[in-house]
């Protein structure tokens, strides 16, 4: 996203001075030989799949960007999209090489191996590596731009697919998860349009394609998306049984619990130390994006302190947290409570916040009621029963009215919190890695 400062690993991956040109296999083997990586047969098999895709791309010409640009001008200049030129029809029927869909447990190396692949594509200019939240925010921004700024009244997905395909022939899509019915309906159309324009994808996810948007609202309408993903990608499991994030070395204390005077004192000392280093003014800061605002009352240059209540108990989205990650290098998050699956909205926002901070390599200090692994309590069975046991909120009833749902739809993951329970496992793994003393520093990918 152009509006969000890409930092850390994501920025390094796009640095032309660090591009490899020999493919992911050689880079992986070199790092195993040097002791930076541990030899893992599951990762090695994944790297071999990525190497084969790399070799295929070297000999496969991408669809010409100039054609896509002219097509977008044609489509965006018409109201109905009728009478499309023959060149557009040809472009929309030229699928590229089959990509790769990697799925497995948290910390198994999915993102690492995908990043090695992306980093090796030195000769391919039109490529993009993006996290799911950032990608969907970019898509929503483009939809907003077409409808509000260009007064587009027809289906915006085809012209957006033209733009995205023009930007990136190879799309590395990290941490694919679908929990929102709106995103599910967009992805159903978008993936079809992207693949028809020759886009090649490498996808990582904690879930295999058949379990995406499991129990989601109107999931039957999402099933064609799953079939498209399986058709256009080799589906490969990466389950080594090891969470490498849990093995981070040189950790420091950045998370403090339980809540009380000792924890408050520790957080105050950290805040004082960070603000002295920044040598800036203590002041509130207002973040603005897509007509929305978020005010952080305590900031000092690129350091911010905010409460869980401000960020996660209020209605904030991935866009808000990405904007936050773009403005600050360090965040002190205070007073994080233990959450049950009944507080699925707060849990969802907390997980999304951690994703945004992790992806942008933001240093996190946190005070909480319990240790990180115990912040979300409950299990899958509890999640399945939550929707039946609790009373509907006004927001629930509004959502049911908007989507024309009945009471029996309450077992969907959008109401039960099952998706949050699943995603929280990834968040805990990331929180462990974020305790590393080197976290937030610019390391070699």
The chain-wide mean pLDDT, for the chain, equals: 78
Q: Could you tell me how far CA 403 lies from the centroid of its own chain?
A: 25
Q: Comparing 173-177, 317-321, 338-342, 431-435, which segment has the lowest mean pLDDT?
A: 338-342
Helix or strand or coil: residue 83? coil
Q: Comparing 147-151, 259-263, 403-407, which segment has the lowest mean pLDDT?
A: 403-407
Helix or strand or coil: residue 162? helix
pLDDT at residue 258 tops 90: yes
Residues 270 and 259: their CA atoms lie apart, in Å, by: 16
Read off the pLDDT of each residue in 235-245 and give the average, rounded to a whole number: 75
Q: Comparing 9-18, 171-180, 220-229, 373-382, which segment has the lowest mean pLDDT?
A: 9-18
Residues 283 and 304: their CA atoms lie apart, in Å, by: 10
What is the C-alpha R_g of the chain?
22
pLDDT of residue 299: 92
Read off the pLDDT of each residue in 395-414 and give the average, rounded to a whole number: 45
Tens digit of each residue's pLDDT (9 = 90 or more) over 361-400: 899 999 999 988 788 775 444 444 444 444 545 444 444 4
Residues 424 and 410: their CA atoms lie apart, in Å, by: 21
422 — pLDDT class (breaks 50, 70, 90):
low
266 — pLDDT class (breaks 50, 70, 90):
very high
pLDDT at residue 116 tops 90: yes
pLDDT of residue 441: 59
pLDDT of residue 83: 38
Query: Is there a contact between 120 and 24 (Cβ–Cβ < 8 Å)?
Result: yes
14 — pLDDT class (breaks 50, 70, 90):
very low
Tens digit of each residue's pLDDT (9 = 90 or more) over 307-361: 999 999 988 888 889 889 999 999 999 999 998 767 878 888 998 899 899 888 8
Tokens 């058949």 belong to which residue? 210
Model pTM? 0.62
By CB atoms closer than 10 A (0-12, 13-18, 19+), residue 153 is: exposed
């Amino acid at each position: 996203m152009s509006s969000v400062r890409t930092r850390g690993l994501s920025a390094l991956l796009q640095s032309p001075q660090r591009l490899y040109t020999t493919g992911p296999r050689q880079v992986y083997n070199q790092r195993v030989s040097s002791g930076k990586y541990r030899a893992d047969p599951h990762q090695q098999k994944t790297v071999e799949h990525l190497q084969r895709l790399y070799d295929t791309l070297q000999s496969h010409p991408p669809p010409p960007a100039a054609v896509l640009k002219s097509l977008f001008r044609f489509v965006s200049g018409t109201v109905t999209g009728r009478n499309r030129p023959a060149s557009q029809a040809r472009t929309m029927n030229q699928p590229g090489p089959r990509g790769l869909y990697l799925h497995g447990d948290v910390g198994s190396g999915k993102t690492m191996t995908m990043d090695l692949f992306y980093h090796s594509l030195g000769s391919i200019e039109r490529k993009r590596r993006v996290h799911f939240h950032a990608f969907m925010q970019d898509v929503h921004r483009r939809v907003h731009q077409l409808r509000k700024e260009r007064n587009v009244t027809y289906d915006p997905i085809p012209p957006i697919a033209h733009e995205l395909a023009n930007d990136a022939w190879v799309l590395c899509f990290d941490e694919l998860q679908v929990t929102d019915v709106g995103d599910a309906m967009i992805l159903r159309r978008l993936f079809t349009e992207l693949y028809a324009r020759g886009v090649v994808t490498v996808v990582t996810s904690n879930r295999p394609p058949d379990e995406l948007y499991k129990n989601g609202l109107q999931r039957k309408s999402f099933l064609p998306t799953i079939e498209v993903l399986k058709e256009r990608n080799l589906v490969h499991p990466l389950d080594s049984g090891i969470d490498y994030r849990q093995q981070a070395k040189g950790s420091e204390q950045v998370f403090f619990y339980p809540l009380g005077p000792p924890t408050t004192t520790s957080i105050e000392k950290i805040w004082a130390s960070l603000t002295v280093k920044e040598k800036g003014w203590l002041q509130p800061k207002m973040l603005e994006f897509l007509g929305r605002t978020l005010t952080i009352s305590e900031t000092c240059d690129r350091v911010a302190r905010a409460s869980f209540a401000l960020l996660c108990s209020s209605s904030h989205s991935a866009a808000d947290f990405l904007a936050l990650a773009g403005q600050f290098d360090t965040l002190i998050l205070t007073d994080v409570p233990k959450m049950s699956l009944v507080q699925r909205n707060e849990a969802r926002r907390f997980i999304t916040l951690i994703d945004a901070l992790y992806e942008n390599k933001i240093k996190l200090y946190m005070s909480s009621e319990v240790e990180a692994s115990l912040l979300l309590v409950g299990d899958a069975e509890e999640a399945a029963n939550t929707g039946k046991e609790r009373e509907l909120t006004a927001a629930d009833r509004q959502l049911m009215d908007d989507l024309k749902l009945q009471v029996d739809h309450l077992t969907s993951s959008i109401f039960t919190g099952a998706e949050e329970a699943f995603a929280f496992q990834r968040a805990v793994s990331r929180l462990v890695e974020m305790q590393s003393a080197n976290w937030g520093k610019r390391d070699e990918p």
